[in-house]
Amino acid sequence: MERIINNLSWVIGGPQGSGVDTAASIFAKACVLGGLHIFGKREYSSNIKGRHSYFAIRVGEKPVRSHLDEIDMLVAFDAETIFTHALNVVNGGAIVYDASLAETSLDEVPMMEDPAIKELKKKLAAKNKDNTVKGILELAKDTGAILYPIAFKDLLQELAEKKNDPSIGKLIRMINVMTVASSFALLDYDTNVVANAIRYTFKARPKIADMNVDCANYAYNHTKAKYGNDLRYSLNTRQIDNSLILIQGNQATALGKMVAGCRFQTYYPITPASDESEYIEANEVLELDSNGKAAFTVVQTEDEISAITMATGAAIAGARSSTCTSGPGFSLMAEGLGWAGINEVPVVITLYQRTGPATGLPTRQEQGDLQFAIHAGHGEFPRIVVASGDVEESFYDSIKAFNYAERYQMPVIHMVDKALANSVLTIKRLDPYSIKIDRGLLVEKANEGYERFTFTENGVSPRVKLGTENGIFWNTGDEHEPNGHITENPNVRIKMMEKRMGKLELALKEIPDEDKAVKYGEESDMTVISWGSTKGVILDAIDKLIREGKKINFIQLRLLNPFPSKLVESLLSRTRLLIDVEMNYSGQLAKLLSENIKREPDYFVVKYNGRPMSLSEVYGILKRIIDGKAKKKEVLTGGA
């Protein structure tokens, strides 16, 4: 049997609120502390407790940018996890589960939805298997999965007796750590590294950390003694690269705002955007420094209308200011966005896309808001729309968003999404000094007769902080004269519209090409084009195809408005076959291509079931396109 070392697809699942995220966090930290790279995706339901959630982690010796549909090791807290994922375990893969679950029937899983139950019953009946955990495990075993039943509750009781501490036996959540430890035992991983990861996770509670380490060691040793090292997969520690960090997407975006000098952030709680503000709140400083300035203030408002208007007010006052939201909240912000647009306010909106419309799938992935972000609000006003392709970009784009907002004095919409926000991975340490802060035409003094919206050659007017001597101006939602007073004069209207809208051409001229669109791979007549968080999975897929001798490249669009038509035309000049890959129904980027450069993709690869694209899917469909076996529009459907 060929050993597979340091290349693993690991999935852990259980009821929402049962500690799945904590267990996955310990697994990820242990891998990173052992010098390995990881990429993790978090999937959770839109209820507080009880529904199925899971965490998928890929481990490798080199950077990992995507997940797989195939599972090398499944760790199950409950029956639903086994029913949901067991048939995705590969030949030679492992299923680690509590032995007490074996007789659980499909009909005894209260949170599992009827369509999934009916489909599973059909599969089980076709193979003459019972509608139980035992039946689905037998089916998985028939396709090569190896079963590792472990009586975790019994182990916990045994440990309580050995320690003469009955309280341990009552701490059922300790089983989470025990399942992770059993995983590492089967993978023959260094138990000391696992203990370090546990202590790091519970560093604020040393006694809890010690108890978890005891439980982990007990489960690790039991699993080793019972099953040995017969699994083909193993993880070995390597030299730690101290230039790497383990980070989550929304943390990177938040850190970018801190580095950018953002001083004021507003939000109304909404998934998945809230995590960013909560991370900033946990690290904000409210005290005044020696100059009488606060480091960072976060305000949870009563609704999204208040969030954008309060952020706009702070930006008018002179602070770097932002708000963050998701689709439904952004819908409510549309009028406030227009008010910021007509008043040339440099406010930043971080838009975490999720599945819509309306409430949609509130905890799931989609790229359905591109057209809305470009056109939100009635009337016409300029806004810059940028989209980050990965966690690292989200950090640097957060800084650039504030620079763009203040340099061109207009709202900037920074587009990310649920997949990026909830991704956890190893990346190079972020450099807070790599991007210079550009506050644009923010002046310290104002002459008598100062006009906030004075006409200038490039459309950008001198801006002052509130309280600046002679810096008197008016703000209104109406069209206005250079000093801000309301006007209905047709000639002033023409000049003001041209002033505002003309700044988009200025931005298009000044923003570097590498921040507009990037081509990856060698010259080829076959090109994949996309935007946002599909970047990682596409890069992994084309890397695999290139290793197989195929010629294909990838263009990532980063600036969506104003659209960099000339650059995109140039990048596509040698492309014969164009493949659009997006996580929405209609191909919203494709519409931008058609509108701006009159180029329609030859193939559309879309996904809109709320689950991120996997490497398995994207590689598979690109290979079919290359082989001439694909339809013009292909819909990807993978994911649990």
Residue 222 lies in a domain: yes
Could you give the C-alpha distances from 217 to 121, 154, 178, 374, 404, in angstroms and in order? 38, 15, 8, 54, 52
Which of 511, 533, 562 corresponds to the end of one domain? 511
Residues 575 and 462 in one domain: no
Chosen domain end from 202, 234, 266: 234
Both structure tokens of 506:
């200025």
Q: Which domain holds residue 402?
A: 247-428
In a domain, 54, yes or no: yes
**Pairing of the two strands 633-636 and 603-607:** parallel
* pLDDT at residue 286, as a whole number: 66
Maximal CA-CA distance, the chain: 88
272 and 417 share one domain: yes
Note whether 315 and 371 are same-domain residues. yes
Strand partners, 526: 577
Phi, psi values for residue 258, rounded to 5°: -65, -45
Sheet holding 321-326, edge to edge: 297-300, 264-267, 321-326, 348-353, 412-417, 384-387, 559-561
Query: What CA–CA distance (Å, rounded) separates 632 from 640?
Result: 26
The CATH number that applies at residue 621 is 3.40.50.920
Q: Do 419 and 303 fall within a single domain?
A: yes
User: What is the CATH classification number for the domain harbouring 214?
Assistant: 3.40.920.10
CA distances to 223, 313, 404, 461 from 475, in Å:
69, 10, 21, 14
Q: How many whole angstroms separate alpha carbon 140 and alpha carbon 147?
A: 9
Whether residue 242 lies inside any domain: the answer is no
Cα–Cα dist 184/25, whole Å = 14
Asked whether 174 and 121 are in contact (CB, 8 A), the reply is no
Helix (H) or strand (E) holding 298: strand 297-300
Same domain as 537, residue 471: no
- Domain-embedded: residue 434: no
165 Cβ neighbours under 8 A, 6+ residues apart: none
Domain at 403, CATH number: 3.40.50.970
Which neighbouring-strand residues pair with 264? 297, 321
Residue 296 is predicted with a pLDDT of: 86
In this structure, are 388 and 525 located in the same domain? no
Please check whether residue 49 lies inside any domain of the structure: yes
Tell me if 239 is assigned to some domain. no
For the chain of 640 residues, list the mean pLDDT of each consecutive stretch of 10: 92 94 97 98 91 97 97 97 98 96 94 93 94 96 97 90 76 88 98 96 92 95 94 96 96 97 96 96 73 78 98 98 98 98 99 97 98 98 99 98 99 98 97 95 95 98 96 96 98 98 98 98 96 98 97 98 98 98 98 98 98 98 97 96
Query: Are residues 417 and 486 both part of a single domain?
Result: no
Identify whether residues 500 and 523 lie together within a single domain: no
How far is the C-alpha of 556 from the C-alpha of 423, rounded, in Å?
A: 19
- 3-state helix, strand and coil shares in percent for the chain, rounded to the nearest 5: 40, 20, 40
| Domain finish residue from 378, 393, 428 | 428
The predicted pLDDT at position 287 comes to: 64
Query: Which pair of structure tokens corresponds to residue 528?
Result: 């994949």
Q: Examine the domain organization and report whether 267 and 229 are in the same domain.
A: no
* Placement of tokens 């003694």 in the chain: 225
The answer to whether position 459 is within a domain reads: yes
* Eight-class DSSP state of 65: -
Asked if 54 contacts 60 with a C-beta cutoff of 8 angstroms, the reply is: no
- Which residue, among 72, 24, 49, 44, has the nearest Cα to 179 in the 3D structure? 24
Would you state the structure tokens that stand for residue 486, as one six-digit string? 């309301």
Judge whether 592 lies within some domain: yes
Domain identity same for 388 and 459: no
Domains in the chain, number: 4
**CA distance linking residue 182 with residue 336, whole number of Å:** 53
On whether both 69 and 181 belong to a single domain, the answer is yes
> Does one domain contain both 173 and 85?
yes
